[in-house]
Amino acid sequence: MNLIVDAGNTLVKLAVFDKNNMVFFQKTELLRFSDKVKELFDRFPNIRHAMVASVGPMDSRDKAVLSIFCKVHFLSHDTRVPFKNSYATPQTLGVDRIALATAAFYRNPNGNTLVVDAGTCVTYDMLNDYGEYLGGAISPGLRMRYNALHEHTAGLPLLEPSELLDFIGNSTESGIHSGVVNGICNEIDGVIEQYLARFQDLTVILTGGDAQFLSKRLKNTIFAHSNFLLEGLNYLLEYNKR
């Protein structure tokens, strides 16, 4: 069994895989990581390997605790990957994007795949039908757009994502919702159209924390997959056991 750790700045996602099947998933605060790890190994004593993807430096104590229980692989740009990486600056490629490209490679090995990860940022990652990672784009995510309007103006309120009744906002709040929600959906649809114009038989996968909120609002045919990054990390772990 494998333990997958996706560590953000404040929250950690923990997933246990039995081969390619996810049998456990949990979110926890980074401060409680060590306690949760101990609980997990009590529940799943057959875990032998762990893959850790962290957006920032992980606390040395957390690393030490995890290493007590199993062999740990820390994802970086030096990690072996199953696809050809044609990114011009591979040392700057985020670990989340490496994992998403890996998941795309295994999910659609002989096809063109665009992965849209709608989280803190919206990232676009393209893997072609030759198994080559080409790169993509990075833009502000949903909540980052709401925060920017609030923080960089004198009078606009900070709002939570909401249902868009009409693209014409008739108040300040509805105008913000229209600008943010309508804007991000038109961006994603527009980017997908650009890729469709260049790549035939394109599969588009939408993932990330805002995937469900956005999926029903997009006009292009997509596949929403909430655990795509975790699956990619598990594939990477299996690949690097060799």
> pLDDT tens-digit profile of 81-114?
999 999 999 999 999 999 999 999 999 999 999 9
pLDDT at 57: 66
Architecture of domain 2-74: 2-Layer Sandwich (3.30)
Name the packing angle between helices 60-69 and 33-43 (round to 10°). 10
Q: Fold match between 2-74 and 84-233?
A: yes
10 CB neighbour count, 10 Å cutoff: 8
Q: Which two tokens stand for residue 15?
A: 């997933």
Catalytic residue among 62, 96, 125, 210: 96
129 is catalytic: no
Q: Pseudo-torsion of CA 35, 37, 43, 49, nearest 10°?
A: -170
What pLDDT band is residue 64 in, cutting at 50, 70 and 90? confident
Q: What is the pTM of this model?
A: 0.92
Task: Reply yes or no on whether the pLDDT at 242 is more than 80.
Answer: no
Binding-site entries for K(+): 117
Domain ranges of the chain: 2-74, 84-233
Q: Provide mean pLDDT across the span 3-24.
A: 91
Higher pLDDT, 32 or 235: 235
CATH number for the domain whose boundaries are 84-233: 3.30.420.40
Identify residue 228 by its one-letter amino acid code.
Answer: F
Q: Which two tokens stand for residue 1?
A: 């069994």
Binding-site entries: 6-13, 87, 94-97, 117, 120, 172
CA–CA gap between residue 232 and residue 199 (Å, rounded): 23
- Helix, strand, or coil (residue 179): helix
Binding-site entries for substrate: 87, 94-97, 172
